Amino acid sequence: MFSIGALSKSTGVKVPTIRYYEQIGLIAPATRNAGNQRRYDQAGLERLGFIKHARDLGFGLEEIRELMALNGELGQDCRAADELARAQLEKVRARIARLRRLETELERITHLCVDGAGGTCQVLTALGDHSQCLGQHD
């Protein structure tokens, strides 16, 4: 059995987050010992590890709930998990594309001014007037 602190240390998930996951039903409520301290079993540790890894990969809580509802059988469950993972991959690719556009625009803006010389600040002017941007980056 694991205390909530041990669970936190083992998975890297903060104690308040573990309590929140328990509150919203992502992890089973902990049993309580005689001192009323939460105690989690190995299955709770593994489930929290699954959630942490899925969160690290950018899955939302509802998507994680859907993934955890699958029992891992080949066939329909595997297709559903694959669809969720592919959808997440597309979201990540869209974010990467957006970040590349932001990088390009910020790099352009930072080259407008050299060492703050020359009157009106071109960086502030560019930030204040979206029409000066080379393209969409939002």
3-state secondary structure of 31: strand
pLDDT reported for residue 78: 84
23/80 same-domain check: no
CATH code of the domain covering residue 25: 1.10.1660.10
pLDDT in tens, 59-73: 999 999 999 988 766
pLDDT reported for residue 117: 62
- End position of a domain, from candidates 65, 92, 115: 65
When comparing pLDDT for 91 and 1, which is higher?
91
DSSP 36-101: --EEB-HHHHHHHHHHHHHHHTT--HHHHHHHHHS---TTHHHHHHHHHHHHHHHHHHHHHHHHHH
Single-letter amino acid, residue 19: R
Q: How many CA atoms lie within 13 A of 38 on its CB side?
A: 18
Q: How many domains does the chain have?
A: 2
pLDDT in tens, 93-109: 999 999 998 898 888 88
pLDDT in tens, 78-95: 888 999 999 999 999 999
Percent with pLDDT over 70 in the chain: 87
Q: Which strand (E) or helix (H) includes residue 32? A: strand 31-32
- pLDDT of 134 above 80: no
37/87 same-domain check: no
3-state secondary structure of 2: strand
56/115 same-domain check: no
2/21 same-domain check: yes
Q: What domain range is 58 assigned to? A: 1-65
Confidence band for 21, pLDDT divided at 50, 70 and 90: very high
Longest dimension (CA), the chain: 72
46/15 same-domain check: yes
